[in-house]
Amino acid sequence: MRIVVDRNRCTGLGMCEAEAPDLFEVQDDGTLLVLNETPDAGCRQDVEAAVEGCPTEALSIVED
Ligand code: SF4
């Protein structure tokens, strides 16, 4: 599983960070930092919550 961010859609609102703070961190300048782009399967619920919680649909999961 790999997390993909569409930088053209992300507005830095940080809903993903609220859902999964171990995986996402919005920087002071509003840029989203993905702390772990290839999380373990055990993180799937958190990743899916972040994907669904993103108001601009900027996040997606790619199965490698
Ligand atoms: S919730 Fe979506 S728009 Fe907001 S920081 Fe995360 S990826 Fe970007």
Q: Tens digits of per-residue pLDDT, 7-27?
A: 999 999 999 999 999 999 999
Query: Strand 59-62 relative to strand 2-5: parallel, antiparallel, unpaired?
Result: antiparallel
Give the pLDDT confidence score for residue 16 in this predicted structure.
98
Give the pLDDT confidence score for residue 25 in this predicted structure.
98
Measuring CA to CA, which residue among 42, 8, 41, 4 is closest to residue 16? 4
Give the pLDDT confidence score for residue 64 in this predicted structure.
84
Give the pLDDT confidence score for residue 45 in this predicted structure.
97
Ligand 1 pocket test, pick from 17, 46, 54, 61 with the greatest ligand atom count within 8 Å of Cβ, gives: 54
End-to-end CA distance of the chain: 6
Q: How far is the CA of 22 from the centre of ligand 1 (A)?
A: 14
Question: Could you read off the pLDDT of 41-64 as tens digits, one per residue?
Answer: 999 999 999 999 999 999 999 998
Distance of CA 49 to the CA centre of its chain: 9
Collapsing DSSP to helix, strand or coil, 25 comes out as strand
Q: Is residue 51 a contact partner of residue 61, using CB atoms and an 8 Å limit?
A: yes
Does the domain formed by 2-62 have CATH 3.40.830.10?
no
